[in-house]
Structure 1
Amino acid sequence: MFTYKIDNQISLKLVELRDADEIFSLIESSREYLREWLGWLDKSTKVEDTRDYIKMSQQMFAENRGMNAAILYDGKIVGIAGYNAIDWSNKIAYIGYWLGETYQGKGIMTKVAEALTEYAINQLELNRVDIRVAVENKKSWSIPERLGFVEEGLIREAEWLYDHHVDHAVYGMLAEAWKK
């Protein structure tokens, strides 16, 4: 099982079926907040949906196609982050993340994204890490900017969020730049 300690308060661990109730409870407590930027919330309405997500995540990890990890803050699950996909032929990891509403503003996600970038480049030996965010989601795009990612472009109408499309900004970090 994958676990990764970031600091004394924050760590990552591969999602497990026994985490389903805690993750679903976190989704429920932040549902309206998260719904603004996450298009899957209306498809996650019961704990069984979370179990299905965890099973899919475990399969993806077993097949070495990506990784979804629970973010632990003082031992409690506060969000999910990881590699939505890993493109081994082109050596690219695509980071995705979300954090419960009450855990915003503590620097948790910046540390998590930094750790995931570090791991992708130095442990997985990938050449590039991408983070794609809705252009209007300032909290989300401030993370790659803080970490020195380069804004490389815009994907118009990249995602359907319930009743409208949103554009995505693409942020990239190359291994050579990260190691400097």
Structure 2
Amino acid sequence: MFLHKIDGDLSLRLIHIGDAERIFELTNLSRKYLREWLPWLDQTQRLEDTQGFIKGCLQGYANNTGLTTVVLFKEEIVGVAGFNQINWSNQTAYIGYWLSSLHQGQGIMTRTAAALTDYAFRELHLNKVEIRAAESNQKSRSVPERLGFVEEGRIRQAEWLYDHFVDHVVYGILAEEWNSRSI
């Protein structure tokens, strides 16, 4: 089982089916906030929907094509983060994340993304990590910006959000850039 301690308050643990109730609860508590940026809220109406999501995540982990973790803050699940995809041919991991609206503004997701990036380079020996965010989602975009990711471009109408398309901004960082940064 994957467990990664980030600091005294924060850690990442491989998602498991027993997390479904808490994740579904967090989804409901943050539904309005999350719906602004995430396209899956309308398809997550029942606990079974979250269980199905977790089963898919575990299949990706078993196939070595993804790593989805729960974000534990003071031993409480406060969000989900991980590698939505690991492309071994191109040695690239794609980070995705969401955090309960109740836990915003504490640096949790920046520390989480930093830990995932470090893990991708030091443990998985990948060459690149990417983070994509909707152009207007400044909170999500600020995470890679704080970590020194390079804005690589914009994908026009990259995602359908309920009634409109949004552009995505693509951020990337290479292993050599990450390892040579001043901490």
TM-score range, shorter chain: over 0.9
Provide the residue aligned with 2:38 in structure 1.
38
| 1:7 aligned counterpart, secondary structure | coil
Provide the residue aligned with 2:152 in structure 1.
152
Which residue identity lines up with residue 28 of structure 2 in the other structure?
E
2:9 aligned with 1:27: no
Q: How many residues align?
A: 180
Query: Cα offset for 1:117?
Result: 0.3
Query: Cα offset for 1:95?
Result: 0.2
Q: Measure the CA separation in 2 of the matches of 1:145 and 1:28.
A: 29
Provide the residue aligned with 2:175 in structure 1.
175
Which residue identity lines up with residue 34 of structure 1 in the other structure?
L
Query: Cα offset for 1:4?
Result: 0.5
| 1:26 aligned counterpart, secondary structure | helix
Q: Measure the CA separation in 2 of the matches of 1:5 and 1:124.
A: 17
| 2:30 aligned counterpart, secondary structure | helix
Query: Cα offset for 1:85?
Result: 0.2
| 1:112 aligned counterpart, secondary structure | helix
Provide the residue aligned with 1:97 in structure 2.
97
Query: Cα offset for 1:166?
Result: 0.2
| 1:85 aligned counterpart, secondary structure | strand
Task: Report matched runs for 1:25-174 at 5 Å.
Answer: 25-174=25-174
| 1:57 aligned counterpart, secondary structure | helix
Q: Which runs of 4+ in 1 moved over 2 A?
A: none
Q: Measure the CA separation in 2 of the matches of 1:66 and 1:155.
A: 22
Q: Measure the CA separation in 1 of the matches of 2:17 and 2:150.
A: 36
Where does structure 1 lack aligned partners over 5 or more consecutive residues? none
Q: Measure the CA separation in 2 of the matches of 1:14 and 1:165.
A: 32
Query: Cα offset for 1:48?
Result: 0.5
| 1:106 aligned counterpart, secondary structure | coil
Query: Cα offset for 1:52?
Result: 0.5
1:74-130 C-alpha deviation (Å, 9 max, x unpaired): 011000000000000110000000000000000000000000000001100000000
| 1:105 aligned counterpart, secondary structure | coil
Q: Measure the CA separation in 2 of the matches of 1:54 and 1:142.
A: 27
Which residue identity lines up with residue 122 of structure 1 in the other structure?
R
Query: Cα offset for 1:65?
Result: 0.4
Which residue identity lines up with residue 3 of structure 1 in the other structure?
L
Q: Measure the CA separation in 2 of the matches of 1:55 and 1:142.
A: 30
Where does structure 2 lack aligned partners over 5 or more consecutive residues? none
Q: Measure the CA separation in 2 of the matches of 1:164 and 1:3.
A: 38
Query: Cα offset for 1:162?
Result: 0.2
| 1:148 aligned counterpart, secondary structure | coil
Query: Cα offset for 1:155?
Result: 0.2
For normalisation by structure 1, the TM-score amounts to: 0.99
